[in-house]
Structure 1
Amino acid sequence: MGPGSHRGWVLPTLAAAVVLAGCSAGVNTDATATRSVTPAPVPGDATPAVEGVTPGISPDGVENASSLEAAHRRVLSEMSFTERTVTTVRDTNGTVIGRRTLVVRRDAEAFRLRFGLEGDLRVGFEPRQAVAVEVWSDGETVVQSITARDGSVRSEPAPNTFYSRFAIPGAEPYARTLERASLRRVDRRVENGTVLYAFEADGVDSLGTFGLLETTPTGSATLRAVVGADGVVRLVVATLPARHGGRTATVEHVFEITAIGTTTVPRPPWSDEVVENGTSVPRTRAGG
């Protein structure tokens, strides 16, 4: 099966955390990030002539989120890649209160998803529900390994329909947020032969709380983003002050695309028994 041919399956992306965590996991697409600051002047030699080169991008920033999202989806639908989404809550002294991580690896033949929770993060889980989930699929077979809070692990077949609700691969909420935010600086740089455009903004309001419960923003957010000349949204970092579980905290949300064209997706060893038996298999710990 060649690149871009996926036998009808669709890749769980950031949205997978919505189901796994029982709540919204991304940037709040219903909210409007308000333009509350005026873009600072950009030195002439730092302003990239990007209009007409990168879809949805102009020298002033992201001006068409739909075009940028379409380019992101088009490029990655034909390539292997790794997507990493991490939401971290820190105390006032920098100590990590909790962290939610979602990593998806995809190549032409399969995808592998890993989702995990650490610390005292308010995401709607009951004490004995899952704190780690791993999913592997080749487009026909789907298996998952679930680790509960008590340490028990079970591996089992998973329905294709569960994962088919998620589009591949998406960056719409991030493109939309960058379009609405007021850019403070736009830079152009080249890394390993790839042209990248860097964006920064502050004073961004109404980003939401990235699916966290008992969390209320107490101030405006700052944003950092890196977009490739091909339209791939490679990095978005949003940081905002908040109250989380009654504590003063800082929430950091990171979305990152890496290993474009070089990601491989090995089949986890625990999947063999599940595929062979077609039933749930208890295990003492996650493997592979």
Structure 2
Amino acid sequence: MRRALVALLVVLAGCSALAPGTDRPTVTPAPVPTDSPLPPGVEPDGVADASALANAHAAALGNRSYTLVTNRTVRAANGSLRSALTVRLALSAAPARDYHARVSVEGPGAPLVIGEPPTRAEYWANDEVYLRRQTIDNRTEYSRYDDTDAYVGTWSFWLGTVALDLGPETDLRSTLEGFETRVADRSPEGDRVHIVGTTVRSEGFVGDSTVDNVENATLHAFVAGSGFVSSYHVVYDATVDGERVRVRRSVGFERVGATTVDRPTWYDEAMERG
């Protein structure tokens, strides 16, 4: 879970860094067609079964390749950046699950998952070698491991601990369950549904024990007819260390079934210098 990031710093620091979210547009409710099927777990007035929708989303991803892009940004009331964490994870199809992760952290309150911010890093691995390239103070460092048992930066770590809460299914379910939702818009064919949540039922979507007093929270999710959720976005006000902040988090899935994990341009240099 995301709460485990700081604890894992000590493990990762020796072997080895995320971009601000974006606002979602104000939505004017549109008439919702009633003559085409809705995604699993969704009814005309909103999400009725978050688990059913999350299960369908996970099934759509299955063992296929995809690229996951997440970011979480926290800004003070005056607009100054407290923290930003961005992960872009390209994941090949099972069973190989080669991956290429690009991670960056920025701001004084950013998680220390890859070191003191600001810093950025890339991680590439197949079943034979694990490579890291990290930029710190305009200095680039490389690491190389030829035994996959020698490092903790597996694809499941980046997916289920850093980027998401345990994985796509759990993260989506906990986010949806945090809101009372409605269908804001829907294509006539039923192949794209825009779900909006503005009333908070629980704060499980926050995923950070240091955050208190959540207010003005909004959820936007974009769902295909199959139940695949291409992206979802949460914005809310909260208190962190006694200071009022604005938190924005977004999750998006791209190139499902079409993602390739090729050797990075810095592969040869990492193999030589790592």
The two structures share one fold, judged by TM-score above 0.5: yes
- Which deviates more from structure 2 when the two are superposed, residues 68-77 or residues 232-241? 68-77
Q: Is the 8 A contact 1:87 1:210 kept in 2?
A: no
| 1:137-148 equivalence runs, <5 A | 137-148=125-136
Q: 1:218 to 1:67 in 2, by over 3 A?
A: closer
Cα offset for 1:100? 0.6
Structure 2 segments unaligned to the other structure (5+ residues): 9-28, 161-166
| 1:158-237 equivalence runs, <5 A | 159=148, 162=152, 163=154, 165-166=156-157, 170-189=168-187, 195-204=191-200, 205-207=202-204, 209-211=206-208, 214-237=210-233
Q: 3-state SS of the aligned residue for 2:263?
A: coil
| 1:249-260 equivalence runs, <5 A | 249-260=245-256
| 1:1-288 equivalence runs, <5 A | 21-22=6-7, 45-48=31-34, 54-108=39-93, 110-124=98-112, 128=116, 131-148=119-136, 151=139, 153-157=141-145, 159=148, 162=152, 163=154, 165-166=156-157, 170-189=168-187, 195-204=191-200, 205-207=202-204, 209-211=206-208, 214-275=210-271, 281=274
Cα offset for 1:20? 5.1
Q: Is the 8 A contact 2:235 2:246 kept in 1?
A: yes
Q: 3-state SS of the aligned residue for 1:104?
A: strand
> Higher helix fraction: Structure 1 or Structure 2?
2
Q: 1:175 to 1:233 in 2, by over 3 A?
A: farther
Percent of paired sites with the same residue: 24
For each residue in 1:212-256, what CA deviation from the matched residue of structure 2 results, as whole angstroms up to 9, or x when unmatched? x75333424211111111211211111111223443210011111
Amino acid at match of 1:54: P
Q: 1:145 to 1:152 in 2, by over 3 A?
A: closer
Q: 3-state SS of the aligned residue for 2:123?
A: strand
Q: 1:154 to 1:48 in 2, by over 3 A?
A: farther
| TM-score normalised by the chain length of structure 2 | 0.70
Distance 2:90 2:190 in 1: 21
Cα offset for 1:152? 5.2
Distance 2:87 2:174 in 1: 21
Q: 3-state SS of the aligned residue for 1:68?
A: helix
Q: Is the 8 A contact 1:54 1:231 kept in 2?
A: yes
Q: 3-state SS of the aligned residue for 2:72?
A: strand
Distance 1:18 1:266 in 2: 31
Q: 3-state SS of the aligned residue for 1:171?
A: helix
Q: 3-state SS of the aligned residue for 2:105?
A: strand
Distance 1:214 1:138 in 2: 36
Tell me the number of residue pairs that the alignment of Structure 1 and Structure 2 aligns.
240
Cα offset for 1:65? 2.9
Q: 1:179 to 1:187 in 2, by over 3 A?
A: farther
Q: Is the 8 A contact 2:103 2:122 kept in 1?
A: yes
Q: Is the 8 A contact 2:40 2:52 kept in 1?
A: yes
Q: Is the 8 A contact 2:123 2:133 kept in 1?
A: yes
Distance 2:190 2:100 in 1: 26
Amino acid at match of 1:206: E
Amino acid at match of 1:136: W
Q: Is the 8 A contact 2:70 2:249 kept in 1?
A: yes
Distance 1:19 1:147 in 2: 23
Distance 1:130 1:153 in 2: 15
Q: Identify the residue that residue 13 of structure 2 maps to in structure 1.
A: none
Q: Is the 8 A contact 1:122 1:214 kept in 2?
A: no
Structure 1 segments unaligned to the other structure (5+ residues): 1-14, 24-41, 282-288
Q: Is the 8 A contact 1:128 1:149 kept in 2?
A: no
Q: 1:79 to 1:124 in 2, by over 3 A?
A: closer
For each residue in 1:169-189, what CA deviation from the matched residue of structure 2 results, as whole angstroms up to 9, or x when unmatched? 623222343145211443213
Distance 2:119 2:5 in 1: 9
Q: 3-state SS of the aligned residue for 2:191?
A: strand
